[in-house]
A and B are shown apart, each in its own frame.
Chain A
Amino acid sequence: MSIPPFLFYLAGALVLPLVPKGAMRSLFLSLVPVLALTQFVVLPFGEYASAELFGYTLILLRLDALAYAFSLIFSIAAFLAALFAWHIRDTTQQIATLIYSGVAIGAVQAGDLITLFCFWEATAFASVFLVWARRTDGAYFTGMRYLIFQMLSGLLLLAGIILHINATGSNLFVQFPDINFAAVLILLAFGIKCAFPLLHDWLQDAYPASTPTGTVVLSVFTTKLAVYALARGFPGLEALVYIGALMALFPIFYAVIENDLRRVLAFSLNNQLGFMVVGVGIGTPLALNGTVTHAFCHVLYKALLFMSMGAVLLRAGTTKGSELGGLYKSMPYTTVFCVIGAASISAFPLFSGFISKSLILSAADKQGYTLVWFALLFASAGVFHYCGIKIPYFAFFARDSGIRCREAPWNMLLAMGLTALLCVGIGVFPQPLYNILPYGVSYVPYTADHVVFQLQLLLFSALAFMVLMSKGIYPAGLRSVNLSSDIVYRKWLPRVLLWTWGSIEQFVVSITAPLRRESRQIFRNIGVVIGNEHGSGVMLLWVGVLLVFLLALTYLAR
């Protein structure tokens, strides 16, 4: 008997309001992921819990290596996030977190497209609450934009699924054999959630807008779910290699000049996704393994970084680089955890990023994607630059901003500590993680050349940072907004639409107003001609006219 794990989360969300607020509820919140985890962690791979709905067979729980890895990391992250949010007393956020985690796990374990779609949409609706939970006007509007983008993804997926089912008659979620229109729609849907270039703006827009704890949850699921879906549906699709490379490259430029550190993290999230997408695109066992590992590690260190920034936001009230600095004096533990996260994302040896990123790089190299390989190398150096150094440096060191606050609450520290421990642990002992990878590939990350070259790359990068910093070339944090492709729908499109609407309206009015006036006049005239009282003379005239007319007609008709 196996219950699909997502049901635990949903049931938990239902029961949650009944649990008294406070420690009880927080405990409950962190126990749900553990309970759900026990349901599948020892389950043999296979398909469970299928249901019939509307003539389709739904597979609610399909466990294979790919799904297992993602479910596992999602569950761990859900637990850590719950721990991190222990102090939160906001019921809506708690419910949203539970549902969001649950449906994300459900989506990963969905064996068919319809179930996948249901969860796909549900992640969108559940997650927007976390954005809104900040409860400001800005967050509200941001959430609306976020929601619409997520919905667009869902709808494209829906259309694609329907087209797919119509063409193939099967609703199983397996690799899409050929890239027809249906597949393109589905790819686009995945692409939106995966923040493909030009479809990515929702990510940098929404993630920094959430609450300190909300962003942590957000950073875990949506995009990794998309990576999972790509890995399942489109492994080896070559276009993805280039899309991924582009994703890895362009956000780093933005990240360097971005002021809001959580948005910097969002850009780096995008950049890291690029690595994973490249891995999916290469599609060799090594590359796919790299994608899975990287996603696994990424969830942890990105969560860690967002946690540390969340703690900063909670205590210092802002995460803007221009306002922060010298926080290590107040929040030393957070500082250390942040540095561990930064080291992990920068792929320092002995940290988790190292053992995952190199798989993808190796795979790219192996398959002869030279340019892509260079690009990824560049991106790796860049990551260290704007994320590995910039985040800890601007937040905790640099010039002293004078902010003196308390250290993060114990639960946050505990959550960060556990996450940091996992990051280091995986970095040191990668084999357990490698063991759960979908493809049996033996890979040894810790070879001399790997370590040395990686260190070369990173330390020279650091050198560059130092040089630029000392020369004053490094861009300082400035309160600003950096334009991106989202200006199209945030500024231009509304203007164009309003203008079009307005001019159409004006046009219609300018046409109809005289028409209306005229017709009213005609109407009134009819009234005057027909309705008014006329003298007998008029009548006589009509009699005469009619007579003459009739006579003429009869005469002519002869």
Chain B
Amino acid sequence: MNDTSALYLAILLPLLGAVLIAALRNHPNLREAATLVTSVVLFANVCWLVASVANGATPRAENILPMPVSGLFLSLELEPLGAMFAAIASGLWIINSLYSIGYMRANKEKHQTRFYICFAIAIAAAMGIALSGDLITLFVFYEVLTLATYPLVAHKQTAEAKAGARTYLLILLSTSVFLLLFAIAWTYDIAGTVAFAQGGILSGRIESWLAPVLLACFAFGIGKAALLPVHLWLPAAMVAPTPVSALLHAVAVVKAGVFTMLKVGVYIFGIDFLEQTGASQWLAWLAGASILYASVRALAQDNLKARLAYSTVSQLSYVTLAMALATPLGALAGALQIAMHAFGKITLFMCAGAIYVASHRTQVSGLNGLARAMPVTFTAFAVGALSIIGAPLLGGFWVKWEIIFAANALEQLVFIIVMIASSMLSLAYFAPVIGRGFFLPPAQASGDADASAPKEAPLLCVLPPSISAIICIILFFQVDALWRFLELIFESTP
């Protein structure tokens, strides 16, 4: 096996998995086994690629398909950032698959085959995004991801689910078709290429007053990054089953968004170019506002998943902010946040799902005393939340550390304040879950409706979040390796 075929495999494997799942639709156990096997094989494949990238190679596959306009081709190329994203997405797919099995069965959800198929396709699209070597390829997979996740969001097919899914699809498709595509075309016109390149492709080619405009087209066009005005799809998508929310918030979708944002910043504009022109100044401010606004909104949500959704909006803007600071350090911090937030948020969502499975409770105010029945779930939740908050001994801490470092290097005091305020706010919206769960007496008013005392959710609902919570801790200590890997972004020449 060489690198190029591994690249193709990374995209084809989940698709193959989807076919397998479809073929085994009448044998639920085999079907789930297919999902698991595919995810494990995919992860192994991605690890192979990651190892190769770590050794300084840049796996490439160019001109896969000719595109109509000369110079425009579909191409794959793996650089460190993409390798990290691919590794996270494929790794979390394993965990999330385990969890999905537990959750979907415990909840007796319908259309499970469709669910797993769409899931696999979404992963394939995420792989494509991670591996894409130019904007067009990325855009294609970006759209595929949107379309593949749409049935997942609308999974329950209730009026509410449909409405949420409609908002989801509408915002994501419209921003991408309207702005992102436009920005890509514009970039192509300016640079004559849309291939990702070290140091960017726009430097010296675009007038400095236009650069912020183009960046704006990208920033708002990448709806999945959920910047302030286009973030509404995330809360709307909360109607989806929890494994899907985990997919959206941690594994693939929003990560694809901020990943794209980083790619654009690093490989299209180029960090140096952004720094020289100050084109991303406004974006940093907007991201800062986004962080605070979403945090405040999260504080006001009583629905646990809605709270998590707004938290995601806020956390995603960390990446945008970090990128917009326009220093290599900032960009790396943004990349780090992708990893840290992925593990933190997936833990939280899986815990929220486990709580739902075990007790059918969705409101934060209804969690009183539940932790005594489900200590493992709530402990995992606490770990995930602390990681998001950025408490030490958990992966999320280093993100905060590096972003403040980057902001400080620029003497941007305001962003340090934003980071501090955001941490405080995130603490304020996560702590109630833990505090209420562990220490408040359970509500008794509901009487015999909840006569059967809630117990810990099934093993497959509890084990995955525990694993990801432990990874959150490991990430704190092993951040060195990850960071050194990411530093290749500015060392190698893709």
Binding site for B on A (CB under 8 A): 52-55, 92, 117-118, 121-122, 125, 128-129, 132-137, 139-140, 143-144, 147-148, 151-152, 155-156, 158-159, 162-163, 166
**What is the chain A residue whose CB lies nearest that of B422?**
A155
Known: A55-B480, A158-B400, A162-B405. A152 touches B393 (CB 8 A): no
Is B436 touching A118 in the complex (CB atoms < 8 A)? no
Task: Specify which chain A residues have a CB less than 8 angstroms from the CB of B400 in the assembled complex.
Answer: 158
Is A155 touching B408 in the complex (CB atoms < 8 A)? no
Is B428 touching A144 in the complex (CB atoms < 8 A)? yes
Task: Specify which chain B residues have a CB less than 8 angstroms from the CB of A159 in the assembled complex.
Answer: 404, 408, 416, 419-420
Q: Which 6 A-B pairs rank lowest in CB-CB distance, beginning with the nearest?
A: A118-B392, A132-B439, A155-B420, A162-B404, A135-B439, A151-B427
Is A140 touching B480 in the complex (CB atoms < 8 A)? no
Is A140 touching B440 in the complex (CB atoms < 8 A)? yes
**What is the chain B residue whose CB lies nearest that of A117?**
B392
1/0 per residue, CB under 8 A from A, across B370-403: the answer is: 0000000000000000100101110000101100
Binding site for A on B (CB under 8 A): 386, 389, 391-393, 398, 400-401, 404-405, 408-409, 416, 419-420, 423-424, 427-428, 431-432, 435-436, 438-441, 477, 479-480, 483
Task: Specify which chain B residues have a CB less than 8 angstroms from the CB of A152 in the assembled complex.
Answer: 420, 424
**26 A-B residue pairings within 8 Å (CB atoms):** A52-B480, A53-B479, A54-B479, A92-B439, A117-B392, A118-B393, A122-B392, A128-B431, A129-B438, A132-B438, A134-B439, A135-B439, A135-B440, A140-B435, A140-B440, A143-B435, A144-B432, A148-B427, A151-B427, A155-B420, A158-B401, A159-B404, A159-B408, A162-B401, A162-B404, A162-B416
Task: Specify which chain A residues have a CB less than 8 angstroms from the CB of B401 in the assembled complex.
Answer: 158, 162
Task: Specify which chain A residues have a CB less than 8 angstroms from the CB of B409 in the assembled complex.
Answer: 166
Would you call the interface of chain B mostly helix, strand, loop, or mixed? helix
- Known contacts A118-B393, A140-B440, A143-B439; 14 further A-B pairs (Cβ under 8 A): A52-B480, A54-B480, A92-B438, A122-B393, A125-B386, A133-B439, A135-B440, A136-B440, A137-B440, A144-B432, A144-B435, A155-B419, A158-B401, A166-B409
Contact of A139 among B392, B393, B439 (CB under 8 A): B439
Interface centre among A125, A128, A136, A148 (most CB of B within 10 A): A125
- Expressed in whole angstroms, the Cα–Cα distance for A129 and B408 within the complex equals 33
Task: Specify which chain A residues have a CB less than 8 angstroms from the CB of B419 in the assembled complex.
Answer: 155, 159
- For chains A and B in complex, what number of residue pairs have CB atoms within 8 angstroms? 80
- Expressed in whole angstroms, the Cα–Cα distance for A328 and B392 within the complex equals 47
Min CB–CB distance A21 → chain B (angstroms) = 14
Task: Specify which chain A residues have a CB less than 8 angstroms from the CB of B428 in the assembled complex.
Answer: 144, 148
Would you call the interface of chain A mostly helix, strand, loop, or mixed? helix
Is A151 touching B479 in the complex (CB atoms < 8 A)? no
Task: Specify which chain B residues have a CB less than 8 angstroms from the CB of A129 in the assembled complex.
Answer: 438-439
Is A166 touching B408 in the complex (CB atoms < 8 A)? yes
Is A156 touching B420 in the complex (CB atoms < 8 A)? yes
Interface centre among B405, B416, B431 (most CB of A within 10 A): B431
Min CB–CB distance A30 → chain B (angstroms) = 24
Task: Specify which chain A residues have a CB less than 8 angstroms from the CB of B386 in the assembled complex.
Answer: 125
**What is the chain B residue whose CB lies nearest that of A165?**
B405
Interface centre among A53, A92, A118, A162 (most CB of B within 10 A): A162
**What is the chain B residue whose CB lies nearest that of A10?**
B393
Min CB–CB distance B435 → chain A (angstroms) = 5
Is A148 touching B439 in the complex (CB atoms < 8 A)? no
Task: Specify which chain B residues have a CB less than 8 angstroms from the CB of A151 in the assembled complex.
Answer: 389, 423-424, 427
Task: Specify which chain B residues have a CB less than 8 angstroms from the CB of A144 in the assembled complex.
Answer: 428, 431-432, 435
Is B424 touching A148 in the complex (CB atoms < 8 A)? yes
Task: Specify which chain B residues have a CB less than 8 angstroms from the CB of A128 in the assembled complex.
Answer: 431, 435
- Expressed in whole angstroms, the Cα–Cα distance for A521 and B175 within the complex equals 25
Is A132 touching B477 in the complex (CB atoms < 8 A)? no
Min CB–CB distance B58 → chain A (angstroms) = 26
Is A53 touching B439 in the complex (CB atoms < 8 A)? no
- Expressed in whole angstroms, the Cα–Cα distance for A435 and B401 within the complex equals 40
- Expressed in whole angstroms, the Cα–Cα distance for A272 and B161 within the complex equals 60
Contact of B398 among A54, A121, A125 (CB under 8 A): A54
Min CB–CB distance A215 → chain B (angstroms) = 16
Task: Specify which chain A residues have a CB less than 8 angstroms from the CB of B393 in the assembled complex.
Answer: 118, 122
- Expressed in whole angstroms, the Cα–Cα distance for A135 and B439 within the complex equals 5
- Expressed in whole angstroms, the Cα–Cα distance for A166 and B439 within the complex equals 41
Is B477 touching A53 in the complex (CB atoms < 8 A)? yes
- Expressed in whole angstroms, the Cα–Cα distance for A122 and B391 within the complex equals 8
Is A54 touching B431 in the complex (CB atoms < 8 A)? no
**What is the chain B residue whose CB lies nearest that of A181?**
B413
- Expressed in whole angstroms, the Cα–Cα distance for A129 and B431 within the complex equals 11
Is A125 touching B391 in the complex (CB atoms < 8 A)? yes
- Expressed in whole angstroms, the Cα–Cα distance for A129 and B405 within the complex equals 31
Task: Specify which chain B residues have a CB less than 8 angstroms from the CB of A54 in the assembled complex.
Answer: 398, 479-480, 483
Task: Specify which chain A residues have a CB less than 8 angstroms from the CB of B483 in the assembled complex.
Answer: 54
Task: Specify which chain A residues have a CB less than 8 angstroms from the CB of B405 in the assembled complex.
Answer: 162, 166
- Expressed in whole angstroms, the Cα–Cα distance for A58 and B354 within the complex equals 38
- Expressed in whole angstroms, the Cα–Cα distance for A95 and B483 within the complex equals 33
Min CB–CB distance A106 → chain B (angstroms) = 11
Task: Specify which chain A residues have a CB less than 8 angstroms from the CB of B423 in the assembled complex.
Answer: 151, 155
Task: Specify which chain B residues have a CB less than 8 angstroms from the CB of A166 in the assembled complex.
Answer: 405, 408-409
Is A155 touching B424 in the complex (CB atoms < 8 A)? yes
- Expressed in whole angstroms, the Cα–Cα distance for A123 and B368 within the complex equals 24
- Expressed in whole angstroms, the Cα–Cα distance for A118 and B483 within the complex equals 20
Is A121 touching B392 in the complex (CB atoms < 8 A)? yes
- Expressed in whole angstroms, the Cα–Cα distance for A143 and B435 within the complex equals 8
**What is the chain A residue whose CB lies nearest that of B426?**
A151
**What is the chain A residue whose CB lies nearest that of B391?**
A121
- Expressed in whole angstroms, the Cα–Cα distance for A151 and B438 within the complex equals 20
**What is the chain A residue whose CB lies nearest that of B389?**
A151
Is B441 touching A135 in the complex (CB atoms < 8 A)? yes
Task: Specify which chain A residues have a CB less than 8 angstroms from the CB of B440 in the assembled complex.
Answer: 135-137, 140
Min CB–CB distance A482 → chain B (angstroms) = 26
Is B420 touching A140 in the complex (CB atoms < 8 A)? no
Task: Specify which chain B residues have a CB less than 8 angstroms from the CB of A118 in the assembled complex.
Answer: 392-393
Min CB–CB distance A134 → chain B (angstroms) = 8
- Expressed in whole angstroms, the Cα–Cα distance for A121 and B393 within the complex equals 10
**What is the chain A residue whose CB lies nearest that of B413?**
A181
- Expressed in whole angstroms, the Cα–Cα distance for A92 and B479 within the complex equals 30
Task: Specify which chain B residues have a CB less than 8 angstroms from the CB of A53 in the assembled complex.
Answer: 477, 479-480
- Expressed in whole angstroms, the Cα–Cα distance for A122 and B409 within the complex equals 27
